[in-house]
């Protein structure tokens, strides 16, 4: 009797299988939407956090680390969202975004620069037609507390000023009080106002608090047409965490299998070190795989992270720890 | 033979929230050895210091209780490690404070360290000894869990400068409470040393706070403080204890009064435990 | 979105470079003696046998084969230590010895983890993150009971039994040693420990730690050897209590041999754990839990969730997700920090797993085996799932003790309970559901010593572990774990 194990299915069947038919389930009414969201499986927090803790022990070294660092750099949305932002600040950031290390042109550019709507023009002019996109927050970022009319105008102005990507916030108040239909309709309206710009929907997971809420909000956003779902504004005390990201990655995986549409994930806020970035890449790698390991489908919203990645990159090449002053403080 | 080298003298300060401040009142008082010789000017804590200590104790209590029992045990065991390494220093202070020989004091310190180890081993046993499933007459899973009362004020024994101190503060801490302790008025220095050791033992800031000073000035503040959940009256006499008991009643505090010739070392553990009972239906 | 891209997304496409732990820290000696009376000593026969690294088949060291004479010596040493020293040592002092041992395990954690992985074949991540920390924790936990025995619920002054003979298996060598020694010593007994033949090295390193802790000579003796050493220990009239963890077959034999004597006995034997999944289970965590339940430690776990009982309404989806997840398991060099599944412990065990798995196919179950590449040398078995299994199949009834899962379905909670209980074993089960009342209802009816709800393979020194029926009797861990070592 043969002792070789039989292989009844091939490795091709073991990936995340994305449906060939694009069939977004029609959500005709708030009641239907509520029922779809209620049918989603619950999340066991202990199991979820345990899985993240185990994945955090993955050891990323040598050539994998170098490749992952470059991948992470190319996935960054380099961000400045301060009341004190000026055109000068934005121009410096854009220069850094294009050439993170002017002495080493092998360092990839980042994915995008992320600014407030009234600085989009500046960013656009600084970035020109380069590969670095202009992303703008909109819809009364970060709180989202304004009328729909104001929020849509916010989006329109950003798009007209040249934004390639819009990062909107959902109405957390409406979500938490059960008015999911309102949240849905707002996203649909914003998506329309985006025209050709791609839409990232910020769930503000720190305010949603429970993982079950994050799962439901993720599906709601995807059903409403989001191109990306994003964890946080970075402006509250709890921003991106690996467990929250894992829930969202599971969400985009299952959504892709159900509908054929691939939605991206952006984690933002509190991601400061290369180690943090590596943890997120491991999550992507082991939850959704190759189709998401690209700036088209995964982004890191961060500012100081870039310098840490550059330092780690340099350290790998030089073989010694380097100092922060090697790189610009932009 | 005197050492020609001048020694650096220690300032005995309060322990509040993991830091060692002087009293906000700026006062200190003279502490003498048992033989009447000058030992040190020790900080004379005020009502405000007590208030700050209570704030610190309350601020960290939820987190202390949320850590695992295993972790709490490890922290208390580390205190034993610290105390063991400073055994001689402790012994000389106990001898000076209580007027006993260094040999007797060393034995007392040994017993105190063994007590710390005893408490370290209690943290992950409390639930098994004082909690459990209850066989109610119905389709319910019913279990009782021992939980800490919260912030416990301790008026430490006046006489037993180290062993009494260890018992009084570690019993509530082992069970998950945080403590504001008023040290023995005349014999405070061993307690201050233990405070220093706790700060290097991974005790989170605020779990143990130690206020030195005049007990009669501080006792009433502690007993009447509404954000203190329990009080240990070991350090006051019977009369004062009754008075304090009355003021403690104002916020329905749990009160622990020492028993003469007490043979049960777990009374203190049980004094600051609340039992929380949960029912859960059982059915398809 | 580019519709042309609607292909399979390959999981794990970011390849991880090898991240090997260095073996140098192990400082293995070429040969080891027996640990009797506080010293390492040659076996009377001077016979040694080899201990292999199951991942490479390389010789790690030679280990002493103890004879009847050696067992005699060890028991005599334990008896002497009990009579003259340990029974006169106060609980407070015993407590401090155990705390020392716990601390030393923590201090030498890395060394212990490496030795364990080299000798057993389990991934270094598991030795480092599970085996060694839990071993330290067991000593910490029982250290705290040594001076509190009067509060354990066995009367105010419970006494130890005397000399304990303890025989442990190869699946968690260091942890099983901790599970045996810690409560026995806390309660005041002295011990003669016989590690498993294929995995003696971590126990011998533990012996060094006992020396460093200044544990009085003879309080713990470690006699290595094959089954004959274990039998000699079981039969020895100088032993007051036998504790055995291993297969049900051997446990049966031991119970028979011990029966005519007055020796106390506790047994922790095999299992065929059922992981019961209801349709309202938290899906992703459940998949992790099923995977962990059977592939953790290469499935060499008595309480492994080796049967998946899944509610029929979600069975297809669960199977698909399971197989996808199984395919992602990283099987290979146990010393690589990124390895999930290591080597099978011995060629004998590998043969058993292969044999039983072949029944799965011949009985008509559908086999899914991971496509992972297996190293050329060493003992390896690719993670495998059998679907469409029924309760009458051999693979649903017999303990395989390897990375092989059998999947069965059920329709109602009642049926799940009946199927789960349809076994002579009764060690552990899992229940997956978001409905608490139903989980408790099922738990109440399961014939098992351990029930995990929405989790699996969780161990803690405070939590009693052990089986019912042919999975053994007696509990290890918790207050209950003291009972086996007290004369009550």
Q: What is the DSSP string of B76-135?
A: HHHHHHHHHHTHHHHHHHHHHHHT--HHHHHHHHHHHHHHHHHHHTTTTTHHHHH-EE--
- What residues of chain B score a pLDDT lower than 70? 1-2
Q: Which of C99, C414, C444 sits opposite B77 (nearest CB)?
A: C99
Token digits for A245? 């990201």
Q: What is the pLDDT of residue A14?
A: 56
pTM of the model as a whole: 0.94
| Same domain assignment for residues C44 and C129 | yes
Min mean pLDDT across A57-66, B119-128, C439-448 is at A57-66
Q: What is the pLDDT of residue C6?
A: 45
Cα–Cα dist C403/C168, whole Å: 21
Residue C92 and residue B74: Cβ atoms within 8 Å? Answer: no
Is pLDDT at C175 greater than 70 in this prediction? Answer: yes
Mean pLDDT of the region A226-255: 97
Nearest chain C alpha carbon to B130: C151
Residue C6 and residue A20: Cβ atoms within 8 Å? Answer: yes
Mean pLDDT of the region C38-62: 96
Closest Cα to residue A254, out of A243, A262, A244? A262
Would you name the residues of A annotated as active-site residues?
167, 230, 266
| Same domain assignment for residues C178 and C207 | yes
Decide if C144 touches B, using CB distance below 8 A: yes
Supply the ipTM of this predicted assembly: 0.94
Residue C293: give its domain's CATH number. Answer: 3.40.309.10
Is residue A7 assigned to a domain? no
Q: Are C462 and B124 in contact (CB under 8 A)?
A: yes
- Name the minimum distance, in Å, from the CA of C316 to any CA of chain B: 24
Is pLDDT at A9 greater than 90 in this prediction? Answer: no
| Same domain assignment for residues C140 and C225 | yes
Cα–Cα dist C291/C430, whole Å: 12
How confident is the prediction for chain C on average, in pLDDT? 96
Question: Bridge partners of A136?
Answer: A115, A166
Token digits for C333? 């060099």
Residue C137 and residue B74: Cβ atoms within 8 Å? Answer: no
Q: What is the pLDDT of residue A2?
A: 34
Closest Cα to residue B250, out of B228, B272, B279? B228
Q: Which of B124, B127, B281 sits opposite C144 (nearest CB)?
A: B124
CB pairs under 8 A between A and C: 141
Kindly name the residue from C302, C399, C470, C483 that is annotated as catalytic.
C302
Q: CA angle C403-C404-C405, nearest 5°?
A: 125
Residue B120 and residue C144: Cβ atoms within 8 Å? Answer: yes
Mutate one of A3, A19, A42, A254 to test the C interface: name it (highest C CB count within 10 A): A42
**Residues of chain C found within 8 Å of residue A260, distances taken between Cβ atoms:** 3, 6
Cα–Cα dist A247/A216, whole Å: 10
Decide if B141 touches C, using CB distance below 8 A: yes
Residue A59 and residue C337: Cβ atoms within 8 Å? Answer: yes
C451-481 confidence digits (pLDDT tens): 999 999 999 999 999 999 999 999 999 999 9
Closest Cα to residue C160, out of C231, C221, C99, C87? C87
Q: What is the 3-state secondary structure (H, E, C) of C368-398?
A: EECCCCCCCCCCCCCCEEEECCCCCCHHHHC
Residues above pLDDT 70, as percent of chain A: 92
Is pLDDT at A233 greater than 90 in this prediction? Answer: yes
- Name the minimum distance, in Å, from the CA of C413 to any CA of chain A: 19
Residue C13 and residue A289: Cβ atoms within 8 Å? Answer: yes
Cα–Cα dist C310/C386, whole Å: 13
Residue ranges of E strands in chain A: 16-17, 76-79, 112-115, 133-137, 165-169, 198-202, 228-230, 264-268, 298-302
Cα–Cα dist C33/C41, whole Å: 5
Report in angstroms the alpha-carbon separations of C252 from A96, A238, C224, C425, C471: 73, 56, 22, 13, 10
Q: What is the pLDDT of residue C423?
A: 96
**Cα end-to-end span (Å), chain B:** 84
Q: Would you report the helix, strand and coil content of chain B in percent, each value rounded to 5?
A: 45, 20, 35
Token digits for A1? 């009797």
A180-228 confidence digits (pLDDT tens): 999 999 999 999 999 999 999 999 999 999 999 999 999 999 999 999 9
Kindly name the residue from C116, C126, C197, C268 that is annotated as catalytic.
C268
Mean pLDDT of the region C390-404: 95
Q: What is the CA radius of gyration of chain B?
A: 20
Is residue A5 assigned to a domain? no
**A contact chains, 3+ CB pairs < 8 A:** C
- Name the minimum distance, in Å, from the CA of A179 to any CA of chain C: 24
Cα–Cα dist C467/C449, whole Å: 4
**Helix runs in chain B, H state only:** 47-66, 69-85, 87-98, 102-120, 126-130, 163-174, 189-199, 215-224, 238-248, 267-271
B108-161 confidence digits (pLDDT tens): 999 999 999 999 999 999 999 999 999 999 999 999 999 999 999 999 999 999
Cα–Cα dist C170/B84, whole Å: 38
Nearest chain A alpha carbon to C337: A59
Q: Which of A42, A68, A293 sits opposite C13 (nearest CB)?
A: A293
CA B274 to chain centre: 18
Residue B125 and residue C148: Cβ atoms within 8 Å? Answer: yes
Range of the domain at A267: 26-318
Q: How many CB atoms lie within 10 A of CB C10?
A: 18
Is pLDDT at C4 greater than 60 in this prediction? Answer: no
Q: What is the CA radius of gyration of chain A?
A: 20
Give me the number of domains chain C comprises. 2
**C contact chains, 3+ CB pairs < 8 A:** A, B
Q: Which of A6, A13, A292 sits opposite C361 (nearest CB)?
A: A6
Q: Are B12 and B212 in contact (CB under 8 A)?
A: yes
- Name the minimum distance, in Å, from the CA of C7 to any CA of chain A: 6
Cα–Cα dist A329/A313, whole Å: 17
**B contact chains, 3+ CB pairs < 8 A:** C
Is residue A16 assigned to a domain? no
**Residues of chain C found within 8 Å of residue A11, distances taken between Cβ atoms:** 327, 371
**Residues of chain B found within 8 Å of residue C462, distances taken between Cβ atoms:** 69-70, 124-125, 127-128
Q: What is the DSSP letter of A15?
A: S
What lies within 8 Å, CB to CB, of C126 at 6+ separation is C296, C297, C342
Confidence grade of residue A23 (pLDDT, cut at 50, 70, 90): very low
The SS3 of residue C34 is strand
Q: CA angle C45-C47-C52, nearest 5°?
A: 160
Alpha-carbon dihedral sign for residues C109, C114, C117, C118: negative
Decide if B118 touches C, using CB distance below 8 A: yes
Residue C10 and residue A290: Cβ atoms within 8 Å? Answer: yes
Question: Bridge partners of C241?
Answer: C164, C264
Range of the domain at C170: 23-269+470-485
Residue A74: give its domain's CATH number. Answer: 3.20.20.70
Q: What is the CA radius of gyration of chain C?
A: 23
- Name the minimum distance, in Å, from the CA of C151 to any CA of chain B: 7
Nearest chain A alpha carbon to C289: A47
Q: What is the DSSP letter of C134?
A: H
| Same domain assignment for residues C256 and C333 | no
Token digits for A233? 């504004």
Residue ranges of E strands in A67-144: 76-79, 112-115, 133-137
Mutate one of A2, A13, A14 to test the C interface: name it (highest C CB count within 10 A): A14
Question: Bridge partners of C49?
Answer: C63
A319 or A237, higher pLDDT: A237
Alpha-carbon dihedral sign for residues A167, A173, A179, A180: positive
- Name the minimum distance, in Å, from the CA of C143 to any CA of chain B: 7
Give me the number of domains chain A comprises. 1
Q: What is the pLDDT of residue C327?
A: 94
Mutate one of B70, B83, B114, B125 to test the C interface: name it (highest C CB count within 10 A): B125
Say which CATH architecture domain B28-281 belongs to.
Answer: 3-Layer(aba) Sandwich (3.40)
Q: Which of C95, C96, C440 sits opposite B282 (nearest CB)?
A: C440
**Residues of chain A found within 8 Å of residue C407, distances taken between Cβ atoms:** none
Which residue has 């932002």 as its token pair? A85
- Name the minimum distance, in Å, from the CA of B245 to any CA of chain C: 30
Q: What is the pLDDT of residue C440?
A: 97
Residue A18 and residue C367: Cβ atoms within 8 Å? Answer: no
Cα–Cα dist C488/C486, whole Å: 5
C124-145 confidence digits (pLDDT tens): 999 999 999 999 999 999 999 9
| Same domain assignment for residues C208 and C283 | no
| Same domain assignment for residues C149 and C261 | yes
Q: Determine phi and psi for C12, rounding to 5 degrees.
A: 70, 25
Confidence grade of residue C402 (pLDDT, cut at 50, 70, 90): very high
Q: What is the pLDDT of residue A6?
A: 38
Residue A9 and residue C323: Cβ atoms within 8 Å? Answer: yes
CB pairs under 8 A between B and C: 72
What lies within 8 Å, CB to CB, of B164 at 6+ separation is B156, B157, B184, B234
**Residues of chain C found within 8 Å of residue A68, distances taken between Cβ atoms:** 14
Decide if C438 touches B, using CB distance below 8 A: yes
Residue C11 and residue A58: Cβ atoms within 8 Å? Answer: no
Cα–Cα dist C166/C181, whole Å: 8
Residue C6 and residue A286: Cβ atoms within 8 Å? Answer: no
Going from N- to C-terminal start, the domains of chain B cover 28-281
Is pLDDT at A5 greater than 60 in this prediction? Answer: no
Question: Bridge partners of B12?
Answer: B42
């Amino acid at each position: 009797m043969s002792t070789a194990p039989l292989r009844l299915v091939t490795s091709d069947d073991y990936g995340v299988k994305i449906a060939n038919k694009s069939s977004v389930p029609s959500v005709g009414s708030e009641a239907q939407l509520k029922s779809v969201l209620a049918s989603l499986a619950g999340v066991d927090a202990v199991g979820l956090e345990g899985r993240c803790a185990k994945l955090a022990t993955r050891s990323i070294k040598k050539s994998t680390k170098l490749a992952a660092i470059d991948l992470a750099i190319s996935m960054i949305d380099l961000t400045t969202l301060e009341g004190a932002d000026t055109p000068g600040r934005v121009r410096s950031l854009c220069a850094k975004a294009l050439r993170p290390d002017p002495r080493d042109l092998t360092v990839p550019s980042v994915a995008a620069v992320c600014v407030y709507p009234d600085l989009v023009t500046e960013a656009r002019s600084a970035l020109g037609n380069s590969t670095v996109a202009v992303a703008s927050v909109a819809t009364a970022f970060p709180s989202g507390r304004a009328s729909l009319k104001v929020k849509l105008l916010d989006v329109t102005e950003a798009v007209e000023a040249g934004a390639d990507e819009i990062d909107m916030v959902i109405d957390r108040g409406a979500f938490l009080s059960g008015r999911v239909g309102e949240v849905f309709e707002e996203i649909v309206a914003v998506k329309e106002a985006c025209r050709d710009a791609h839409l990232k929907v910020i769930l503000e997971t720190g305010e949603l608090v429970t993982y079950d809420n994050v799962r439901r909000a993720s599906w709601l956003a995807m059903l409403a047409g989001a191109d990306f779902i994003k964890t946080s504004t970075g402006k509250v005390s709890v921003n991106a965490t690996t467990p929250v990201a894992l829930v969202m990655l599971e969400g985009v995986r299952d959504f892709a299998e159900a509908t054929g549409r691939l939605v991206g994930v952006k984690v933002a806020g509190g991601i400061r070190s290369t180690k943090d970035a590596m943890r997120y890449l491991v999550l992507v790698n082991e939850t959704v795989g190759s189709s998401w390991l690209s700036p088209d489908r995964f982004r890191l919203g961060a500012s100081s992270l870039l310098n840490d990645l550059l330092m780690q990159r340099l350290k790998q090449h030089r073989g010694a720890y380097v100092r922060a002053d090697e790189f610009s403080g932009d | 033979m005197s050492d020609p080298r001048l020694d650096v003298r220690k300032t005995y300060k309060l322990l509040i929230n993991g830091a060692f401040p002087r009293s906000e009142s700026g006062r200190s008082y003279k502490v003498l050895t048992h033989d009447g010789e000058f030992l040190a000017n020790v900080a004379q804590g005020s009502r405000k210091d007590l208030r700050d200590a209570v704030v610190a104790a309350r601020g960290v209590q939820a987190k202390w209780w949320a850590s695992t029992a295993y972790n709490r045990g490890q922290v208390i065991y580390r205190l034993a490690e610290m105390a063991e390494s400073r055994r001689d220093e402790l012994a000389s202070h106990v001898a000076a404070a209580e007027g006993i020989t260094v040999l007797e004091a060393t034995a007392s310190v040994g017993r105190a360290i063994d007590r710390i180890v005893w408490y370290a081993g209690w943290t992950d046993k409390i639930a098994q000894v004082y909690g459990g499933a209850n066989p109610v007459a119905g389709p319910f899973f019913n279990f009782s869990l021992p939980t800490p009362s919260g912030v416990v004020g301790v008026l430490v024994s006046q006489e037993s400068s180290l062993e009494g101190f260890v018992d009084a503060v570690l019993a509530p801490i082992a069970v998950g409470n945080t403590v504001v302790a008023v040290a023995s008025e005349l014999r405070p220095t061993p307690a201050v040393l233990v405070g220093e050791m706790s700060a290097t033992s991974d005790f989170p800031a605020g779990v143990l706070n130690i206020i030195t000073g005049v007990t009669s000035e501080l006792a009433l503040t502690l007993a009447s403080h509404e954000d203190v959940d329990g009080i240990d009256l070991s350090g006051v006499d019977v009369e004062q204890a009754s008075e304090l008991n009355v003021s403690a009643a104002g916020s329905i505090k749990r009160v622990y009064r020492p028993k003469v010739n007490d043979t049960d070392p777990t009374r203190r553990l049980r004094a600051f435990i609340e039992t929380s009972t949960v029912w859960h239906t059982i059915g398809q | 979105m580019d519709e042309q891209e609607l292909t399979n997304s390959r999981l794990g496409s970011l390849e991880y470079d090898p991240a090997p732990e260095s073996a140098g820290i192990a400082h293995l000696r070429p040969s080891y003696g027996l640990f009797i009376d506080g010293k390492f000593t040659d076996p009377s026969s001077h016979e040694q046998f080899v201990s292999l690294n199951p991942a490479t088949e390389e010789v790690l060291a030679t280990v002493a084969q103890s004879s009847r004479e050696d067992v005699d010596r060890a028991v005599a040493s334990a008896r002497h230590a009990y009579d003259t020293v340990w029974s006169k040592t106060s609980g407070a002092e015993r407590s401090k010895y155990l705390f020392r041992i716990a601390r030393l395990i923590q201090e030498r954690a890395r060394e212990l983890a490496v030795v364990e992985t080299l000798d057993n074949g389990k991934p270094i991540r598991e030795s480092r993150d599970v085996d060694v920390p839990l071993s330290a924790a067991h000593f910490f936990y029982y250290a705290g009971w040594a001076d509190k025995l009067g509060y354990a619920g066995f009367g105010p002054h419970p006494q130890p039994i005397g000399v304990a003979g303890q025989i442990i298996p190869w699946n968690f060598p260091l942890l099983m040693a901790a599970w045996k020694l810690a409560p026995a010593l806390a309660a005041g007994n002295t011990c003669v420990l016989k590690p498993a033949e294929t995995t003696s090295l971590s126990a011998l390193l533990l012996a060094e730690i006992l020396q460093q802790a200044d544990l009085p000579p003879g309080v713990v003796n470690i006699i290595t050897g094959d089954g004959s050493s274990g039998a000699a220990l079981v039969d020895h009239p100088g032993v007051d209590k036998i504790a055995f963890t291993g297969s049900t077959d051997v446990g049966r034999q031991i119970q028979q041999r011990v029966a005519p004597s007055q020796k106390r006995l506790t047994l922790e034997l095999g299992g065929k754990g059922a992981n019961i999944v209801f349709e309202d289970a938290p899906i992703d965590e459940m998949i992790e839990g099923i995977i962990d339940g059977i592939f953790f430690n290469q499935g060499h776990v008595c309480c492994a969730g080796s049967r998946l009982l899944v509610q029929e309404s979600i069975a297809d989806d669960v199977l698909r997700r399971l197989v996808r997840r199984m395919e992602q398991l990283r099987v290979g060099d146990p010393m690589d920090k990124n390895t999930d599944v290591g080597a099978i412990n011995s060629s004998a065990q590998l043969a058993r797993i292969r044999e039983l798995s072949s029944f799965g196919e011949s009985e008509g179950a559908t086999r899914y085996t991971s496509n992972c590449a297996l190293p050329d040398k060493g003992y390896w078995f690719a993670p495998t799932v059998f679907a469409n299994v029924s309760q009458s199949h051999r693979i649903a009834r017999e303990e395989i003790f390897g990375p092989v899962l059998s999947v069965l379905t059920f329709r109602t909670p009642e049926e799940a309970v009946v199927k789960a209980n349809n076994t002579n074993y009764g060690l552990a089960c899992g229940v997956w559901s978001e409905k608490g009342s139903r989980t408790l209802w099922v738990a109440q009816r399961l014939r098992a010593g351990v029930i995990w709800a929405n989790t699996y393979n969780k161990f803690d020194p405070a939590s009693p572990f052990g089986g019912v029926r042919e999975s053994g009797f007696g509990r290890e861990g918790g207050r209950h774990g003291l009972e086996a070592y007290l004369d009550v």
